[in-house]
Amino acid sequence: MINSTQVLYFALVAYFDTGAFKYLYFMIVMALYMLIVCTNLLLIVVICVNRSLHEPMYLFLCSLFVNELYGSTGLFPFLLVQILSDIHTVSASLCFLQIYCVHFYGSVELFTLGVMSYDRYLAICYPLQYHTRMTSNKVAVLIASVWLYSVLATVVMMSLSVPLQLCGNTIQKVYCDNYSIVKLACSDTTVNNIYGLVYMFTIIVALIILILYSYMRILKVCFSGSKQTRQKAVSTCTPHLFSLLNFSFGAFFEIVQGRFNMNSLPIMLRIVLSLYWLTCQPLFNPVMYGLKMSKIRNICRSLAFGKRM
For 14, residues 6+ apart whose C-beta sits below 8 A from its C-beta are 171, 172, 173, 174, 267, 270, 271, 274
Stated pTM of the model: 0.88
pLDDT at 4: 44
Each residue's pLDDT expressed in tens, for the chain with a length of 309 residues: 334 456 788 999 888 877 778 899 899 999 999 999 999 998 998 888 888 888 999 999 999 999 999 999 999 999 999 998 888 899 999 999 999 999 999 999 999 999 999 998 898 888 889 989 999 999 999 999 999 999 999 999 999 999 998 888 899 889 998 988 998 988 888 999 889 888 877 777 888 888 888 888 888 877 776 777 677 777 778 888 888 888 888 888 887 777 777 777 777 888 888 888 889 899 989 888 876 676 777 776 676 666 554
Distance (Å, whole) CA 124 – CA 221: 8
Q: Are strands 89-91 and 9-12 parallel, antiparallel or unpaired?
A: antiparallel
Distance (Å, whole) CA 158 – CA 247: 23
Helix ranges restricted to H, the chain: 21-49, 56-84, 92-125, 130-133, 136-161, 178-184, 190-199, 205-224, 227-259, 267-292, 294-305
Distance (Å, whole) CA 85 – CA 266: 22
pLDDT at 53: 85
DSSP state of 51: G
Would you say 75 and 276 are in contact if contact means Cβ atoms under 8 Å apart?
A: no
Q: Which domains does the chain have, with CATH numbers?
A: 9-305 (1.20.1070.10)
Backbone phi, psi, residue 11, to 5°: -100, 125
CB atoms inside a 10 Å sphere around CB 274: 21
- List the strands of the sheet with 89-91, edge to edge: 89-91, 9-12, 170-171
Distance (Å, whole) CA 303 – CA 215: 34
